[in-house]
Amino acid sequence: MRTPVVIDCDPGIDDTLALIYLAGLHVGDEISFEAVTTTAGNTTVANTATNAAWVLAQCGLPDIPVAPGCAVPLKVPLTITPETHGPTGLGYVTAATSTSLHDDWQHLWIDAIEKNGTDLHLIVTGPLTNLAQFRRDHPEHYAQLTHVTVMGGAVNYRGNTTPTAEWNFWVDPHAASEVFEHAPCEITLCSLEVTERMLVDPERAGALVDKLGAVPIAQHLQDILRFYFEFHEGNDEGYQAQIHDLLTCMIALVTVDDTELATTVAVEADSELMRGTSVADLRNHWGKPANAHLVMSADIAGAHEELDRAASLLADRARTD
């Protein structure tokens, strides 16, 4: 049985690899790619939706529904990162404008929930703005979400945006705080201490391009990733890139081995100094029920093999089309 999946993302270079991976599983009949919705984060919501639709079309999936979601965070002004992901979010590439975007992202979620029930997997790789807004607008459907995986947070770990905060949680700290305070299920949380280990360098990028073969996205991938390599090198992290969102998708779909710990996670929203800081109560000081499965480790070598496998599925499809 194919696993139904909705991804809420903000492409973004690492989101792009996540979309390529999910496209491979979809054409391999391993998942049913129900929809893509986007938030503002790495770039504006107009750009993230355009980028998502373009990436899917370049993977041979122009019919997957794509819709832009919330354009700004719940309370704080929007901050984007052209210095990290490029002027429009895809490094040195600019996506062609899509004319087929859906205009109601919440209905895409509702349709997927009503169609698939508790089998639906929601993967969030951008700020949690859409998920928090969905809770406010459709609490009855929000409560039906039983498989939610989030990339975010620097849980009891150094941040990548401030000394203590990760980017997704920092962009919309109120959304992150609200979601974990009112979690619809025990959320699988993939935070920086694990996702930073998922690295792609030029050699791996070249091998991935070769695996993709005739898939159109392959001819753009080097220019997308090169910007990300340069950003990481400029931050003394080597000429390589951390691909957080791709690993998150694999953990969500249990296609890579990982270890998890049930715990209670909270996110600070209102402190200027500690904005977006995420904490796990590993010793149960708060005495609250667990709201998360915190990912503690993952099989990174296996994750690279899994990406290659998905790329081969896309390449096989391209050869037969």
Question: Given 244, 285, 293, 304, which residue is catalytic?
Answer: 244
Cα 121 from Cα 33, distance rounded (Å): 10
User: Is residue 244 among the annotated active site residues?
Assistant: yes
The size of the chain, in residues, is 321
Q: Which of 152, 116, 150, 94 is nearest to 35 (CA)?
A: 116
Can you tell me which residue has the tokens 């491979």? Answer: 24
Q: What's the CA gap between 197 and 246, in Å, rounded?
A: 12
* Exposure string over 6-42, b if 16+ CB within 10 A, otherwise e: bbbbbbbbbbbbbbbbbbbbbbbebbbbbbbbbbbbb
Closest CA to 95 of 19, 203, 197: 19
Cβ count within 10 A of residue 58: 24
C-alpha span between 67 and 104 (Å, rounded):
7
Residue 315 contacts residue 207 (beta carbons within 8 Å): no
CA 292 to chain centre: 17
Q: Alpha-carbon distance 251 to 301, whole Å? A: 13
Q: Is cis: bond before 12, omega within 30 of 0?
A: yes
> 293, 282 in Cβ contact below 8 A?
no
- DSSP string across 285-306: SS-PPP-EEEEEEE-HHHHHHH
Q: List residues bridging with 266 in a β-sheet.
A: 279
Which positions are annotated as active-site residues? 244
